[in-house]
Amino acid sequence: MDTKNRTRLFMVALIAALCAFPMVVTNSYILLIATLIGIYIIVNSGLDIVYGYSGQITLGQAGFYAIGAYTSALLSMHTGLPVILCMICGGLLASFLGMLIAIPSVKLVHHFLAMVTIGFGEIVRLLALNGGELTGAADGIPFIPKLSLFGFTFDTTGRYFYVVLGAVIIMLILKQNLVRSRIGRAFRSVRDNADAAAAFGLNVRRLKVTAFTVEGFYGGLGGALYAHLVGFISPETFTLQQSVLFLTMVLLGGSGNLWGPIIGSVLISIMFEVLQPLGQAQMAIYGAIIMGVMLFMPHGIWGAVSTQAARVGRRAPMTEAEALDTKGRS
């Protein structure tokens, strides 16, 4: 059987295994972690579109996550809209705000863009913190309603797992369609060489904004799913640390492909659970891992695996002077 069919069979088998998962593993805590991993996969896949496919650094994911979560929570509690619509609204609002922020931002690169995205994320969090009655301020919003579809309520983690699984599958299919389309190819041209892309007539700015807009939806939907899973949100969840965590997952797993964000989300989540007994050292190790990944696996696990499979000779290591000269200013 050829590779394509083999991959398809693998996917089907994987999905079937995941569908059986909550029936085999009834432990509510493990299901919670697994469902959260699913949510992270959605957020990180969106992040991957901006970082991996269009080459822009962003540290504002927590902002989209927050917008989606708060929007969905508030809509579901103050209006009669069914939760599923509230979630989509959350995604759309995050997407829209992502577009607004992106428009003036995409002319910036690297550290400046990073700074803008950090500023965006922090402003969202601070507005939530100071939002008084509306956002619940520091107390947060408790008792967020559960999702119900056609009269069936997803009130246990096991049931909600299926919702998230479905969302993951849909969002990943959409992502693959996007990156394989013309726009996806255009993203990659921008990532690899923005000037050349412009020279070839691509509207670089519009493409970059599009990437952020898409990321916004993924992040917002993820946030909404989170809100209705945990039932409680507060500004403390949506910090810069959370954005860094998302980016770390993408970096570790490998960016610019389907599996990287998935692998990263799974590994980091498991790592945190395993390291928990170590207390303070857990976070120090997390920092060390980030440095290690940058040093030894800058293309992430998927990147390292792919390069092993298709090794094309390695260029000689540069001296520091050469590196600084060619990479330094941009």
Residues of span 162-181 touching other proteins by CB under 8 A:
none
Q: Does 139 bind other proteins (CB under 8 A)?
A: yes
DSSP helix/strand/coil, 49? helix
Pick from 36, 35, 280: nearest CA to 159: 35
Under the binding rule (CB under 8 A), the answer on residue 13 touching other proteins is: no
How many whole angstroms separate alpha carbon 174 and alpha carbon 102?
A: 21
Q: How many helices (H) and strands (E) does the chain have?
A: 15, 2
Q: Which is nearer to other proteins, 52 or 172 (CB)?
A: 52
Written as one letter, the residue type at 81 is: L
CA–CA dist 243, 266 (Å, integer): 16
Phi, psi of 152 (to 5 degrees): -100, 120
153 contributes a contact to other proteins by CB under 8 A: no
Q: Is 122 in the site for other proteins (CB under 8 A)?
A: yes
Pattern of binders to other proteins over 213-252, x per CB under 8 A?
-----------------xxx-x-xx--x---x--xx--x-
Least CB distance to other proteins at residue 61 (A): 14
For residue 204, state whether it binds other proteins (rule: CB under 8 A): no
CB of 177 to other proteins, least distance (A): 26
Question: Cβ closer to other proteins: 15 or 324?
Answer: 324
CB closer to other proteins out of 55 and 88: 55
304 CB-contact burial (10 Å; exposed 0-12 / middle 13-18 / buried 19+): middle
CB of 162 to other proteins, least distance (A): 19
Query: Which residue type sits at 82?
Result: P
Q: How many residues bind other proteins (CB under 8 A)?
A: 72
Least Å from the CB of residue 30 to other proteins: 8
**Residue 323 binds other proteins (CB under 8 A):** yes
* Candidate list 92, 169, 286, 305; residue touching other proteins; CB under 8 A: 286
Write out the binding residues for other proteins, residues 94-113 only, by CB under 8 A: 104-105, 107-108, 110-112
Contacts of 207 (CB under 8 A, 6+ apart): 54, 183, 186, 187, 190, 197
CB closer to other proteins, 29 vs 200: 29
Task: State how beta strands 148-149 and 152-153 pair.
Answer: antiparallel
Is residue 318 a contact residue for other proteins (CB under 8 A)?
yes
By CB under 8 A, residue 281 contacts other proteins: yes
Residue reference for tokens 């996550």: 65
Cβ burial, residue 223 (10 Å; 0-12/13-18/19+) = buried
Tell me: does residue 114 bind other proteins (CB under 8 A): yes
Q: Applying CB under 8 A, does 32 fall inside the site for other proteins?
A: yes
